[in-house]
Structures are given as structure tokens and as C-alpha cells.
Amino acid sequence: MNPAQHLDAVHPLHALAAELAATGWSVHLEDPDLLHAVPPDSARPGTTVRIKDGVGGVPWFVTSTGDPLRPCHDLTGAGREIRAQPVPQESRRSGHALLRVKSALRRINLALWRLA
């Protein structure tokens, strides 16, 4: 990727970060061209996304393992793919109690916010 293409390729990561943040994910750019996203439930490990040229030079979002997600112009689809990644079995067991506590705290916070 030449420098001009590199600068253009970074912008879709910002847009994807906004897409994920709107659904409660914690996101940050680790490098100019790497996006790290962590789900709000913390039962799943986060994922790292970068951009790679696909067929015909169309840029795609790809995971850190090289798995293609969606073309960069499909932000909604890429966000959906990331959010749908399965929870590892060990995370399900250890994270279940934490998820229940976090869910209860969210309900309490929402109730308090409505009272304010």
C-alpha cells in the first residue's frame, strides 16, 4: 500500500470504531492502522481489525487472524460480524457471574438515571 492509500485506508477504521462504540464497545486505535475493540460484556476477548486490499483492490476489514469481515464500505455489516463473534467456552463459564452482576448494575444505573 503506498502512503496515499495508507492515509485513505485509516479513515474506515475511524468509522468502524464509531459504529462499534455506538453499540457499547470500547474502541481505540493502537497504531494508525489497527483498531482494537472490546465488547461491553467482557465475556469475550477483544478483536483487532485492520484493512487489507481485497479482490480488485477493494479494501476490506480483516481480523488479526487474517479472516475477512466485510468490505470497508459495509460498516454496518462489519460491525455486525464483529459483534457476532462467538464467546469461547472458558469465557462463558468464568464470565457468567460477572455478566449477571454487570447486567444488574446497568438496570440500577438506568433506574437511577430515570429518577434524576
pLDDT (0 to 100) of residue 113: 76
pLDDT (0 to 100) of residue 75: 92
Taking the C-alpha atoms of residue 49 and residue 36, their distance in angstroms, rounded to an integer, is: 6
Q: Which CATH class is domain 3-85?
A: alpha beta
pTM > 0.85: yes or no: no
Taking the C-alpha atoms of residue 41 and residue 21, their distance in angstroms, rounded to an integer, is: 13
Report the chain (116 residues): mean pLDDT per 10 consecutive residues.
48 92 90 86 80 89 90 94 73 56 73 75
Report whether 72 contacts 61 (CB < 8 A): yes
pLDDT (0 to 100) of residue 80: 93
Nearest to 63 by CA among 30, 24, 36: 36
pLDDT (0 to 100) of residue 46: 82
pLDDT (0 to 100) of residue 10: 56
Neighbours of 90 (CB within 10 A): 8
pLDDT (0 to 100) of residue 71: 94
